[in-house]
Amino acid sequence: MPETLMQPLTELERAYVKFKKDKKTQAELKSLIKDFVGRPTPLYFAQKLSKKLGQIIYLKREDLTHTGAHKINNAAGQALLAKFMGKRRVIAETGAGQHGVATAAAAAKLGLECVVYMGKVDMGRQAPNVLRMKLLGAKVVPVASGSQTLKDAINEALRDWIANVSTTHYLLGSVLGPYPYPAMVRDFQKIIGQEARKQILQAEGRLPDYLVACVGGGSNALGLFHDFLPDKKVQMIGVEAGGLGIKSGKHAARFFGGKLGVLHGTKSYVLQDKFGQILTTHSISAGLDYPSVGPEHSFLRQQKRISYAYITDREALAGLKLLSQQEGIIPALESAHAVAYASKLAKKIFHGKLIIINLSGRGDKDLEAIRDLGVIHG
C-alpha cells in the first residue's frame, strides 16, 4: 500500500476495535442486521434437487437478504463503522454490482454520500444493478482503465481514497485488500456460518459433510466456512471461476493458474505473467472475475483445511438452469458455480451426504446476460 494510506489504515484498525466494544453501536448494528438486512436467512431444504442428486442438499438463502446478496451483511456493518468514525462519504468498488447496490442502500439508510467505482465491461453486463445504485442515490463512476472489471474498479477506488482519505471511508466489499479489511469483512460475513451451523443442527441433528461456496474475493465462502473451521469432519470446497477452461487462459481460477504475489495490499495467489504483470481474467460472472483471492483462503488452503475447485462458464449456466427448474430459485451466476460444483460432487461421493450450498445471491441481475447467451428457450 502507498504510504499515504498507511496511517489511515492504522486508524481504521483502531476504530474497528472501538466499534466492536461500543455497546450502543453494536445494538444499532444488531437491529440493522435484523430489520434492514432481513436476517436470519433461511436454511432451505432443496427437496427436489436432493432427490435428483441423491444427496441431502440445503441452501443457505443469502439471496433472500435485502438487496439480494450476502454483500449487504458487510456493507451495513462498514457503513455503520464509517459513521462511527465520523466519515461523511463512502466509496466502494463493485464487480457484479451487488456490493455496489448494498453499499448504496446502506449509505442511503445511514445518510452517507456514496460513490461506486465499476468497470465499464461490468456496467454493461450488470446494467440493472447500475440503475438500482443510481436510484439509491449513489454516483456510479465507470472505470475504463485496464481490463475494465473488478480489479480496475479497486485501483480506482484506492486512488480516490488516497486523495480523500480524511472525509472518506473505503467500503471494500470482499476479504481482500490491506489489513484490517480481510479480517473485518470476514467478521461481518461470518454470521452466515453462525446461523447455518445452528440451523443445520436443528434440522438434521448433525453437522454437514460438505460446505460449498463460490470464491471471487471469497467473502461469502469465508462467511459460511468460518464457524465450521474447528469442525474437522466438515469438508469445505471453494469454487473458483474456470471461465473458458484453464488451458484457454481465460479464467479466474487463481489456485489453478496463479502464483504468490502482491495485489491491492495483500499477499496471495495472483494470476500474473512471469514478470509480475497482472493478467486479465475471464468469467461469465462479474463477481468472480478477479485475478487474486482473499489471503485467508490462500492460508487455509495451505493448511489443507479448505480445498478448491473450479467450474467453467458452461457448467455454471447448467447449474443455474438446474436450480431454477428444480427448486424455483434463480441463483446469481456467481452462486451458480457453487450449485454446479455440488451437482458434480454429488456424482463422486456416496449417496445421502449432507451438503450445504451457499446461495450467495439471486439471479435477477443476470437475466439480460443469460438471455443473450441463449440459455432461455421458447
Partner 1 sequence: MDRIGKCFKELRRQKKMAFMPFVVAGDPDYKTSLKIVRELVKNADFLELGFPYSDPLADGPVIQRADMRALASGMNSDRVFRLISKIRVFSDIPITVLAYANLVYRRGVDKFYRDAGRAGIDAVLVPDLPVEESDKFVKAAKKYGIDSIFLVAQTTTKARMKKILKQASGYLYLVSILGVTGIRKDIAPETLGLIRQLKKLSKLPVVVGFGVSNARQIKILRKAKADGVIVGSAIVKVIEKYKRNPSRAIKEFIKGLN
Of 128, 146, 180, 245, the residue at the interface with partner 1 (CB under 8 A) is 146
Smallest gap from residue 264 Cβ to partner 1 (A)? 7
Helix ranges (H only) for the chain are: 3-21, 23-31, 47-53, 71-84, 98-110, 120-125, 127-135, 150-164, 181-189, 191-204, 219-225, 254-257, 295-302, 313-327, 333-348, 367-372
Question: Which residue stretch of 22-30, 67-75, 181-189, 273-281 sits at the interface with partner 1 (rule: CB under 8 A)?
Answer: 273-281
Q: Residues 182, 265, 295, 319: which binds partner 1 (CB under 8 A)?
A: 265
SS3 assignment, position 285: coil
State how far the Cα of 337 lies from the Cα of 136, in Å rounded to an integer: 29
Residue from 71, 125, 151, 226 binding partner 1 (CB under 8 A) = 151
> Can you give the C-alpha Rg of the chain in angstroms?
19
Distances 68 to 85, 222, 261, 303, 339 between C-alpha atoms, Å: 27, 18, 33, 33, 17
The one among 47, 145, 248, 307 contacting partner 1 by CB under 8 A: 145
Residue 14 engages partner 1 in binding (rule: CB under 8 A): no
Gap between the Cα atoms of 302 and 203, Å rounded: 33
Taking the least distance from each CB to partner 1, the nearer of 62 and 156 is 156
Q: Which of 189, 235, 268, 272 binds partner 1 (CB under 8 A)?
A: 272
Rounded CA-CA distance 136/336 in Å is 27
Q: What is the DSSP string of 93-138?
A: EESSSHHHHHHHHHHHHHT-EEEEEEEHHHHHHTHHHHHHHHHTTP
Work out the number of other CB atoms within 10 angstroms of the CB of residue 318.
18
Q: Does 115 bind partner 1 (CB under 8 A)?
A: no
264 binding partner 1? (CB under 8 A): yes
Instruction: Please say which residue, 87 or 264, places its beta carbon nearer to partner 1.
Output: 264
Is 353 among the residues known to form the active site? no
Q: Report which residue type is found at 233.
A: K
Contact region with partner 1 (CB under 8 A), list: 17-25, 65-73, 131-139, 257-265: 257-265
- Shortest Cβ 323–partner 1 spacing (Å): 35
- Say what the alpha-carbon torsion angle 164, 166, 172, 178 is, to the nearest 10 degrees: 100
Q: Is the Cβ of residue 160 or residue 327 nearer to partner 1 in the bound state?
A: 160
State the first-to-last Cα distance of the chain, in angstroms, to the nearest integer: 51
Size of the site for partner 1 (CB under 8 A): 34
The answer to whether residue 26 forms part of the interface with partner 1 (CB under 8 A) is no
Q: Which of residues 23, 232, 274, 347 is near partner 1 by CB under 8 A?
A: 274
Which of 60, 71, 87, 190 is catalytic? The answer is: 71
Would residue 145 show up in a list of annotated catalytic residues for this protein?
no
93 assigned to active site: yes
- Closer to partner 1 by CB, 4 or 47: give it: 4
Instruction: Give the interface with partner 1 as residue ranges (CB under 8 A).
Output: 1-8, 145-146, 151-152, 155, 158-159, 162-166, 259-265, 270, 272, 274-278
